[in-house]
Amino acid sequence: MTTQTITADSAGTWRLGDLTVHRVGFGAMRLTGSAAFHLGAPSDRERSIAVLRRAVELGVDHIDTAAFYFSQLRSANELINSALSPYPDDLVIATKVGPFRDWAGEWATAARPEDLRGHVEENLRQLGRDHLDLVYLRRMGQDRVAEHFGALAELRDAGLIRHLGLSDVGPGHLAEAQAVAPVVAVQNRYGLDARRPATEELLRLCGEQGIAFVPFFAVAGDGAERGATADHGEAVHAVARAHGASPAQVRLAWTLHRGPHVLAIPGTGNPGHLAENVAAGALRLTAEELRQLDSVHTVGS
């Protein structure tokens, strides 16, 4: 499909609390290098900055990032700050707290509730902002989230955070957090080959309650943080051929078809892939094509 004139508004919009965003956004993790936020080779700084600026030119107004997205010589937050500050008024930047890496890049023990203020302030410092639009509590294996979520709610009340979300959670965690403060978005791993009953239930609950559902690794599949999968299967290739699209675009389009509350945050450091990802928001799949892709999703459960 032609990508030259397709912008993010082709996918429609959704509201994150009182903030309206296009349903196709941008994930910043891959800006830091070939091994994502691990200690791989550093990315080309100028190309990463150009990708961010081009994303905004294409109508992207929702960027997902985190202070722990860094590799040798590269920090996603610093790249965003350098590329886009002073920030457009309509740009929504979402970040995650909970996981922690030391300065050597090694993963440390999951944050305690009292640590989260420091995590929020580090994101503020790196991004050069006085508040964060959306902060996800990324669950790090703990059974309960109320205490951690309550610490973030206090920071929201103090004006450091505008809206709160959850990441890597189940339906029970959502209900637990909602008893503390409103949840505007849930971010879980989800895609054609990442079907889990609890996540399907969470997708349904979010739709019923007007909460954004924001899948990560929707294109990467089993490649996860290593990069996009090459194992697409014949159903994906057939739909791609029918539309003159790439398999990655079909994966993104299928994800967006899961409900009007589903947002996409594909990440890339490649300008060409960026344009393809944004253009995927304009891909309209037929009922038969969706049935074929849904069968792949079921088989891969």
**What are the 10-residue block averages of pLDDT along the chain, 301 residues in total?**
81 97 96 64 88 98 95 92 97 95 78 96 97 96 95 98 97 98 97 85 97 89 50 87 96 97 95 95 97 82 47
Region of 15 on the Ramachandran plot (φ > 0 left; ψ -120 to 50 alpha; else beta): beta
In terms of Cα–Cα distance, which of 131, 136, 137 is closest to 110? 137
CA 300 vs CA 158, 222, 292: distances in Å: 44, 11, 13
Find the largest Cα–Cα distance for the chain. Answer: 53
- Report pLDDT for 171: 97
Residue with tokens 């799949």: 285
- Report pLDDT for 43: 80
**Tokens of residue 179, six digits:** 């008893």
- Report pLDDT for 224: 45
- Report pLDDT for 227: 47
- Report pLDDT for 223: 47
- Report pLDDT for 107: 79
In terms of Cα–Cα distance, which of 110, 111, 129 is closest to 121? 129
Question: The pTM is what?
Answer: 0.92
- Report pLDDT for 301: 47
- Report pLDDT for 296: 86
Indicate if 69 belongs to the active site.
yes
Backbone angles phi, psi at 23, to 5 degrees: -75, -15
- CATH code of the domain made up of 8-299: 3.20.20.100
- Report pLDDT for 72: 80
